[in-house]
């Protein structure tokens, strides 16, 4: 996947539905282990909650992992609506836990689904979203006469992470994966194939 939308930071929200308190926490995660650790952490913080409903969706390094858990609520009434929010907002690499403190009034299936969904949405909106692109490294060796041309082209497509000056200049360049071929082609053309690219 060349780009994905994930959360900028941790987002939290608290809402009240007919005396029940719903507390949501949404975080960006790197992989499924990260998501499971986060869920475990929130459950340990809210051990006194009646339910700690969770959902995550991971799409990283060609691995797709998704799961939701109703944690004792009626099947499909809580974890699934939270997971659907992740799908609806086209988010990846995100985990959400919504903790419920029961207030004595039953909400019914539809009421539960709405409460969990709305609390999760607010936490995600509070976190904010960001588009993340796959990045790749390109190594180049240039003679000194082509330094200006190479640095100018690289600045259009990516970032020079490191430059080592010996008898030639060794560049380590970070670039969007989808722009890599275009950068290499331009460097070859502009320098008349006098730059070694690895």
**What does the pLDDT read at residue 49?**
97
**What does the pLDDT read at residue 2?**
58
**Do 124 and 72 lie in a common domain?**
yes
Token duo for residue 121: 């949405």
Q: What is the pLDDT along the chain (198 residues), one digit of tens a residue?
A: 457 899 999 999 999 999 999 999 999 998 999 999 999 999 999 999 999 999 999 987 678 899 999 999 999 999 999 999 999 999 999 999 999 999 999 999 999 999 999 999 999 999 999 988 777 888 899 888 888 888 888 888 888 888 899 998 898 988 877 778 888 888 888 888 888 888
**Do 110 and 187 lie in a common domain?**
no
CATH of the domain at 20: 3.30.230.30
For the chain, how many structural domains are there in total? 2
| Enclosing domain of residue 153 | 135-197
CATH of the domain at 176: 3.30.70.240
**Do 84 and 31 lie in a common domain?**
yes
**Do 109 and 166 lie in a common domain?**
no
**Do 114 and 169 lie in a common domain?**
no
**Do 53 and 124 lie in a common domain?**
yes
* The pTM of the whole model exceeds 0.85: no
**Do 185 and 109 lie in a common domain?**
no
**Do 191 and 97 lie in a common domain?**
no
């Amino acid at each position: 996947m060349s780009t994905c939308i994930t959360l900028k930071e941790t987002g939290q929200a608290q809402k009240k539905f007919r005396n029940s308190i719903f507390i949501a926490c949404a975080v960006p995660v790197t992989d499924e282990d990260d998501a499971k650790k986060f869920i475990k952490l929130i459950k340990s913080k809210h051990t006194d909650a009646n339910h700690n409903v969770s959902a995550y969706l991971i799409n990283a390094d060609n691995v797709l992992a998704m799961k939701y858990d109703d944690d004792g609520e009626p099947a499909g009434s809580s974890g699934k609506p939270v997971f659907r929010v992740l799908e609806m907002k086209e988010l990846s690499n995100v985990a959400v836990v919504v903790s419920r403190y029961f207030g004595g009034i039953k909400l019914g299936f539809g009421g539960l689904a709405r409460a969990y969904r709305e609390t999760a949405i607010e936490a995600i909106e509070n976190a904010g979203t960001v588009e993340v692109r796959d990045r790749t490294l390109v190594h180049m060796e240039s003679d000194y006469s082509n330094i200006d041309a190479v640095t100018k082209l690289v600045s259009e497509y990516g970032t020079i992470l490191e430059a080592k000056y010996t008898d030639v200049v060794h560049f380590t360049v970070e670039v969007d994966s989808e722009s890599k071929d275009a950068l290499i082609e331009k460097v070859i053309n502009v320098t008349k194939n006098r730059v070694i690219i690895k």
